[in-house]
């Protein structure tokens, strides 16, 4: 299956279990892989035959920056659901959400959640 991959998108959101996370917020990184046939847009060279990644970016940005979730698992699920609903040409989607600075007393590069969903 062909795919469009959008990597390293960074947003500022207020997700987390702890009240200070919801108040102070932090940076999140989101990657998505959109699995869909790209032969038609490859031949037609027409934006209407594919997923407009600028629009998809706007959807993701709105979800991450304007909605609030306790878990990044729920955030990833919301992104996947909205993109599958909006773009019927997407057959499968992988969403990765990285929380680089979780408020825990451990030293690592962050916590990453990855989900993979298929159209029902």
The domain over range 3-118 is classified in CATH as 3.40.50.2300? no
| 81-108 tens-digit pLDDT | 999 999 999 999 999 999 988 777 667 7
pLDDT attached to residue 70: 96
pLDDT attached to residue 100: 85
Residue in 23, 70, 99, 118 annotated catalytic = 99
Please indicate whether residue 99 is annotated as part of the active site: yes
Return contacts of 80-88, CB within 8 angstroms, 24+ apart. 80/115, 80/117, 81/117, 83/32, 83/34, 83/56, 83/59, 84/117, 84/119, 86/56, 86/59, 87/34, 87/36, 87/51, 87/56
| 15-49 tens-digit pLDDT | 999 998 899 999 999 999 999 999 999 999 999 99
Q: Where are the domains of the chain?
A: 3-118
pTM of the complete model = 0.93
């Amino acid at each position: 299956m062909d795919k469009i991959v959008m990597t390293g998108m960074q947003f500022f959101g207020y997700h987390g279990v702890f009240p200070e996370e919801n108040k102070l917020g932090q940076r999140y990184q989101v990657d998505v892989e959109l699995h869909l046939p790209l032969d038609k847009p490859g031949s037609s060279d027409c934006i209407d035959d594919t997923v407009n990644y600028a629009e998809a970016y706007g959807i993701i940005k709105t979800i991450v920056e304007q909605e609030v979730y306790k878990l990044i698992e729920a955030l990833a699920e919301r992104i996947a659901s909205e993109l599958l609903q909006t773009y019927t040409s997407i057959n499968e989607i992988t969403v990765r959400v990285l929380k680089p600075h979780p408020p825990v007393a451990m030293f690592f590069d962050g916590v990453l959640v990855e989900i993979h969903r298929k159209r029902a």
